[in-house]
A and B are shown apart, each in its own frame.
Chain A
Amino acid sequence: MILVIFYIMGSAILFIPGKLSAPGKQDSWISALVATGVGLLIVLIYNVIGRRNPGMTIVEYSEHVLGKWFGKIVALVFLIFFLILIALDLRDIGDFLSTQAMPDTPIQAVLIPFLCVVMIGMRYGLEVYTRFAELFFPVVLLLWFILLISLYPEMKFEHIQPIFEHGFKGIAITAPVMVGFPMSELVALLMIYPYVNQKKSAAKGFLVGTLIGGIMLTLLTLVCILVLGVFGTVSSTYPSYLLAQKINIGDFFQRVEALMAIIWFFTLFTRVSIFFYAIVLGLAQVMKLQDYRPLILPLGLFLLSFGQTVSPNIIHVIGATKNEWAMYQMTCGVFFPLLLLGADTLRQNRGRKL
């Protein structure tokens, strides 16, 4: 459950307010709420898939359902999806640090230590970073509430008025952005689903985690608009970072944007680890390897370069991850899982008749 919350919050925590507010204006927090609802529905689908085949990751499942060759192709589509996502996440962390915190440091100097830590965690296995997430969850939650509460004096409620100015159409255009990012990306968690110890609580944790993560993002979007206004939120690349800079209580408690960066690092680390694990494990399963560990270091080397070349610059990232991107994510995160489920149901029905 905690892993899910971290997963949703990672990277989305910095980008979601800006991305949603661009088309949704002052109603974007409603869109975030709608997207959370849709995200819950998506997770219900994932839970059904997880229950259908206990002990199988989505890669094994697609091969099991669609046969050897077609199944491998679908599995590769998932893996490429994860690969692009992990590269974008690495790119985010590199861009963020090299634009906001350390402008003179080359992006490699950020990526290499980060990847090294991820790879070390990976070699020790899944349990290590799950424990990490559990350990740091209270810290992140605490920092989060400190941020929100200390922003209270800065909130101006006229910023979200008039509510529903753009009607349902505005919300309908905006919600898919968050349905795609981060909700559809949850499909990567189907790669670790079979390894959860308590199978019963896994499904529940998945749902609750999605709910909490979605609500946290909704609150963040709301606060961003309340404090910064629509224009301020849209025009900044990292609205929530700017938000944390705004905190000023009695000229004493101020400049705490590092807190936001810390939350972000923790959650992003979890995200990158999950994708990394999903890729090496998925690759090993597609090729029927016995051990996924030898693939970790070469993949790290690959990602060091791919993280930088996935997109030439941040303007390109923002431009490319607009409309088509949400479509791509929904294709991978919703359409393909549904396809698998449908094919599986067909197979079972036919099996019963024979």
Chain B
Amino acid sequence: MTEIGSIVAFMLIAAGIIAVEVPSLRNRKLKKEMLAFFVLLMVGLGMNIAQTLNAPIPSPLDWIIIIFKPFTGWIAGL
């Protein structure tokens, strides 16, 4: 139940953000800005909802470790 409540709350926040930003964007006819705005908003909303549902979200730190692991071994060998 609390999950649904949180998801609704996040939706409301997103709706609020749209209400604040979109009219000004529409008046100024900024198409690209509008697109970027919605993409970022949807990613943000998706992340928050995924997190509420306890979906496994990978940590970018792990990817960094994978990328740089060979180099640290090389440096320690010096």
Number of interface residues of B (CB under 8 A): 37
Check B25–A302 contact: CB distance below 8 A: no
User: From residue 18 to 54 of chain B, which have CB atoms closer than 8 A to chain A?
Assistant: 20-21, 24-25, 28, 30, 32-34, 36-37, 40-41, 43-45, 47-48, 50-51
Q: A84-B60, A287-B32, A311-B61 are in contact. Are A298 and B44 (CB under 8 A)?
A: yes
Check A297–B64 contact: CB distance below 8 A: no
**Listed stretches A190-198, A215-223, A317-325; interface member:** A317-325
Check B47–A328 contact: CB distance below 8 A: no
Cα A302 to Cα B38 in complex, Å, equals 12
Task: For residue B46, give the distance in angstroms from its CB to the closest CB of chain A.
Answer: 9
Check A302–B68 contact: CB distance below 8 A: no
Cα A317 to Cα B24 in complex, Å, equals 40
Interface bracket on A: 35 or more
User: From residue 259 to 312 of chain A, which have CB atoms closer than 8 A to chain B?
Assistant: 283-284, 287-291, 294-295, 297-306, 308-312
Check A297–B21 contact: CB distance below 8 A: yes
Which B residues lie within 8 Å of A289 (CB)?
A: 30, 32-33, 36
Check B59–A323 contact: CB distance below 8 A: no
Q: Which residue of B lies closest to A289 (CB)?
A: B33
Check B41–A320 contact: CB distance below 8 A: no
Which B residues lie within 8 Å of A294 (CB)?
A: 21, 24-25, 30, 33-34, 36-37
Check B40–A328 contact: CB distance below 8 A: no
Check A324–B47 contact: CB distance below 8 A: no
Task: For residue A327, give the distance in angstroms from its CB to the closest CB of chain B.
Answer: 4
Beyond the given pairs A84-B61, A305-B50, A324-B64, 10 more chain A to chain B contacts, judged by CB atoms under 8 angstroms and listed by A's residue number, are: A84-B60, A288-B32, A294-B24, A295-B37, A298-B17, A298-B43, A309-B59, A311-B59, A324-B68, A324-B69
| 29 A-B pairs whose Cβ atoms sit less than 8 Å apart in the complex | A80-B60, A283-B40, A289-B30, A289-B33, A294-B34, A294-B36, A295-B36, A298-B40, A298-B41, A298-B44, A300-B44, A301-B10, A302-B43, A302-B47, A304-B44, A304-B48, A305-B48, A306-B47, A309-B47, A309-B59, A310-B59, A316-B59, A316-B61, A317-B61, A320-B59, A320-B61, A320-B62, A325-B64, A331-B68
Q: Which residues of A contact B (CB under 8 A)?
A: 80, 84, 283-284, 287-291, 294-295, 297-306, 308-312, 316-317, 320-321, 323-325, 327-328, 331
